[in-house]
Structure 1
Amino acid sequence: MINKRSIVVNATLTLILLACALSSLALGTLSITIPDVILALQGKGTTMHTFVLEELRGPRLLAGALAGASFALAGCLMQTLARNRLATPGIIGIDNAATAFAVASVVGVGISAAPHTMALVGAAVATALAFGLAGATGTRGYRFIIAGLAIGAVSGAITQVMLSSVALDDANAAYPWTVGSLNARAPAAVNALIIGLIVGYTLSLFLNRALATLQLPEPVTASLGTRSGRVRVAGLILSVLLTGLAVSVAGPVGLIALLGPELARTISRPGSIPLTASALSGAILMVLSDLAGRLVFSPLEIPVGIIAALAGSPYLLWILLHKSPDINR
């Protein structure tokens, strides 16, 4: 069966993403018209336009869209597993732990591995701790979220201690990791994110039906032949992978993982798990946040993580005060 609404929603989000991408390529300190952008992308533009698009804005756009899609897809998976819209990688501490490990690598606190590798390790460690502290509830219930909040707070404190105890130059080098920025992207990290997002998205689609059954009562889930334990572990691994790789490129921009799935869930078929729509929504929000950060106070640039926090924090507060955290309500 083909869900026509999903096709329309995903097609619309794709067109919006393309429009946002063109705007990101065209707008900036040097404005380029859309026709000139298209010519430059075809290799027919001026030397200046080609340089700006291929060396500056193009890689930044790619990194932002990939990171946004990964954050939002990870958020959709984790919210589904926990049946709670607050259970995103940022809120349960995965972002902060990944950042702490990456900062430790940058400032050289006894760690020599690459920052993007350490970010992935940090995400895995935080998830394992949260899962262990949650005990029998696993990813379900508030115990998992509270454990994650504590891990995130401790990780944030450790990050600040490391930054305050190293030389100023080292602290400045690590600063982008603490606020979320697309300036610190490394080609190796972006390449790893491309592979990770392709693998993670493909596997999440295979899990889609099983994830949908997890929304039903446990006896019904078992009667349908779904091995809920294995599905939860698989979904959690994918969330960790996507979050760690996204943090390794953009830093902790975790509110995209809250806003992207929520936007997708609002416009998608009720009761569905909008994996594709979430990824597209996250990419759109990240690209728009980065564009706003570059334009609002130009030539001064505001990191994308700060813009996302300004946009996402009021919505998070609104959820806490006026909306049920249960994604099925």
Structure 2
Amino acid sequence: MTTIPSPAGTRLLRLRNLTVLVPVRAAVGCTLLAALLVVAAAAALSVGTASVGPLRSLAALVGVGDAADVLVVQRLRLPRLQAGLLVGTALGVSGCLMQTLARNRLATPGTVGIDDGATAFAVASVVGVSTSLLPSGMALVGAATAAALALALAGGAGTSGYRFVVVGLGVGAVLGAVTNLLLVRAPIDAANAAFPWAVGSLNARPALPVTLLGVGLAGCLPLAVLVGHRLTALRFPDTVAAGLGVRVRAVRLAALALAVVCAGPAVAVGGPLGLVALVAPEAARRVCGPRGVPVLSSGLAGAVLVLLADTAGRTVAAPVEVPVGLVTSIVGGPYLVWLLLSSRPRRLP
């Protein structure tokens, strides 16, 4: 039997009749990010005003140990951990798809208006229309509306990366103004109820939107990984990608749809967490290398970033809590400035 050598930096894994080509650096990078995520999750359960040691928090997680520890871990910190894990993963995946789709590292759900659209419609569901409309459902509608507007005005997804970004910024600015108008004109109680969706917070998130986000992410993540493999070919000109057998238009529409479905419910749960979708894919590329589209590692990096930011927001200025959206903006803002002031435009490799 002739042994076919694997390309440099990869390994062939054979399982019966199935052969899988695994990039070594990407596999190691995903493993490291997964380990870092475990550490961030342990810190989220252990660190806070009421300090609970790692072993005690692990015992409290399964309902064993001191009653106060069980209350703090299961009732207060575990729901935040679940929300942060899902929101960070969804935003990281969405950002990776958007950046690759537009061939531009600035193209994220925040910079092309998807976050603003989801926020505007979620706030409207609280302060402007019947309360029977769930903010998560309205956020998905708002995200799809913003994406459709940016796509139509830019002349097609991925046809011009910077044009797509600039048009998205304009759409986001308009929708952001709508959000501010709704909050200003709303009664004080309604404005207070909608405020977490406008600033970004994981505190006391309703269980139903978190569950819906988890179900949606479970369905979208495998599809996003598959679409990510196809997006690798779109780094070439469209004619070359089509020659390789890629249905260019269908792949772009699928990537955009998955980015919207991930970002909309994530914003409905955690609000517009500033620049997570910008930083997470870049961190994934640094760890896993430029080969391929790092959809899974971007999700892991996004979850790590959100959990660490939420833990820092709860503890740094305790007993005052800094919303996680402000913390992620502080972290991502300098990176965005550096990206804009780079000597030349940076495109995806």
Coarse TM-score class (shorter-chain normalised):
over 0.9
Q: Which residue of 1 aligns with 2:205?
A: 185
Rounded to whole Å, the distance in 2 between the matches of 1:90 and 1:184 is 23
Rounded to whole Å, the distance in 2 between the matches of 1:123 and 1:139 is 20
Q: Which residue of 1 aligns with 2:227?
A: 207
Q: Which residue of 2 aligns with 1:164?
A: 184
Q: What is the identity percentage for the equivalent residue pairs of Structure 1 and Structure 2?
A: 48
Instruction: Return the match for 2:78 from 58, 66, 71.
Output: 58
Q: Which residue of 1 aligns with 2:336?
A: 316
Rounded to whole Å, the distance in 2 between the matches of 1:10 and 1:76 is 15
User: Match of 1:210, SS?
Assistant: helix
CA contact (8 A) 2:103 2:158 kept: no
In the alignment, is residue 42 of structure 1 matched against residue 62 of structure 2?
yes
- Aligned Cα RMSD in Å? 1.4
Rounded to whole Å, the distance in 1 between the matches of 2:295 and 2:158 is 22
* CA shift in 2, pair 1:275/1:13, >3 Å: same
Task: Within 5 Å, give how 1:8-27 maps onto structure 2.
Answer: 8-27=28-47
> Deviations 1:140-170 (Å, cap 9, x if unpaired)?
3222111111111111111111111121111
Rounded to whole Å, the distance in 2 between the matches of 1:9 and 1:288 is 19
Instruction: Return the match for 1:217 from 237, 246, 249.
Output: 237
Runs of 4+ in 1 over 6 A off after TM superposition: none
Q: Which residue of 1 aligns with 2:97?
A: 77
Rounded to whole Å, the distance in 1 between the matches of 2:79 and 2:91 is 18
Instruction: Return the match for 1:248 from 268, 273, 281.
Output: 268
In the alignment, is residue 146 of structure 1 matched against residue 166 of structure 2?
yes
> Deviations 1:210-246 (Å, cap 9, x if unpaired)?
1100011222111111010000000000000000010
Letter in 2 for 1:269: G
In the alignment, is residue 128 of structure 1 matched against residue 145 of structure 2?
no
> Deviations 1:28-67 (Å, cap 9, x if unpaired)?
1100011111211233221111111111100101100110
Rounded to whole Å, the distance in 1 between the matches of 2:232 and 2:158 is 18
Shift of 1:77: 0.3
**Matched length:** 329
Rounded to whole Å, the distance in 2 between the matches of 1:287 and 1:266 is 20
235-244 vs 43-52, which deviates more? 43-52
Rounded to whole Å, the distance in 1 between the matches of 2:219 and 2:345 is 29
Letter in 2 for 1:4: V
Rounded to whole Å, the distance in 1 between the matches of 2:181 and 2:130 is 15
* CA shift in 2, pair 1:300/1:292, >3 Å: same
TM-score relative to the length of structure 2: 0.91
Shift of 1:254: 4.0
CA contact (8 A) 2:229 2:292 kept: no
Letter in 2 for 1:36: R
Rounded to whole Å, the distance in 2 between the matches of 1:125 and 1:175 is 22
Q: Which residue of 2 aligns with 1:236?
A: 256
Rounded to whole Å, the distance in 1 between the matches of 2:96 and 2:343 is 17
User: Match of 1:2, SS?
Assistant: strand
Shift of 1:135: 1.5
CA contact (8 A) 1:184 1:249 kept: no
CA contact (8 A) 2:199 2:325 kept: yes
Instruction: Return the match for 1:276 from 279, 282, 296.
Output: 296
Structure 2 unaligned spans of 5+:
1-20
In the alignment, is residue 257 of structure 1 matched against residue 277 of structure 2?
yes
Structure 1 unaligned spans of 5+:
none
